[in-house]
């Protein structure tokens, strides 16, 4: 883990988050600045800086992030949802621990801003 990583701290329970799912590999928790009626994040417990920080060894883990995000969205009433990973500052990434946004509960527009 990266010592000052806020999402590592959430995954270890060192700082609080409103979790909706947890297993040995993943945690999902509600975003504190929601951009839609449903907005939670799915993260691997393993510290990865973002999509560009993964290797082939992470392929199964990242597939699980995607699958669990869609499952949890449906379980929370948002089967139709937007799954987003921001990769790098220009793309809007502000926390450098890989996370997938799951947004739903309202119509989504395209392209994103
Ligand atoms: P990014 O901009 O890196 O793609 O997304 C980071 C997300 O993490 C933002 O939507 C932000 O609101 C959320 N976030 C940042 N710090 C915390 C926190 O301490 N707790 C929770 N639950 N969400 C956070
Ligand atoms: Zn981390």
Summarize pLDDT for 26-39 with one digit per residue, the tens.
Answer: 999 999 999 999 99
Class of domain 6-104: alpha beta
Q: What mean pLDDT do residues 44-71 have?
A: 98
Residues with CB under 6 A from ligand 1: 6, 17, 29-33, 41, 86, 92-95
d(CA 60, CA 95): 22
29 against 2, higher pLDDT:
29
**pLDDT tens-place string over residues 78-109:** 999 999 999 999 999 999 999 999 999 999 99
CA 88–ligand 1 middle distance (angstroms): 14
- Whether 99 is catalytic is yes
| Confidence category of residue 113, pLDDT binned at 50, 70, 90 | confident
CA 67–ligand 2 middle distance (angstroms): 21
């Amino acid at each position: 883990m990266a010592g000052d990583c806020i999402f590592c701290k959430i995954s270890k329970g060192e700082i609080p988050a409103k979790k909706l799912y947890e297993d040995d590999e993943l945690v999902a928790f509600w975003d504190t600045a929601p951009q839609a009626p449903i907005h939670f994040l799915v993260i691997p417990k393993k510290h990865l800086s973002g999509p560009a920080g993964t290797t082939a060894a992470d392929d199964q883990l990242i597939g699980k992030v995607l699958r669990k995000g869609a499952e949890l969205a449906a379980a929370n009433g948002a089967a139709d949802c937007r799954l987003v990973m921001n990769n790098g500052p220009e793309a809007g990434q502000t926390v450098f621990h890989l996370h997938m946004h799951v947004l739903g509960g309202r119509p989504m527009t395209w392209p994103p801003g």
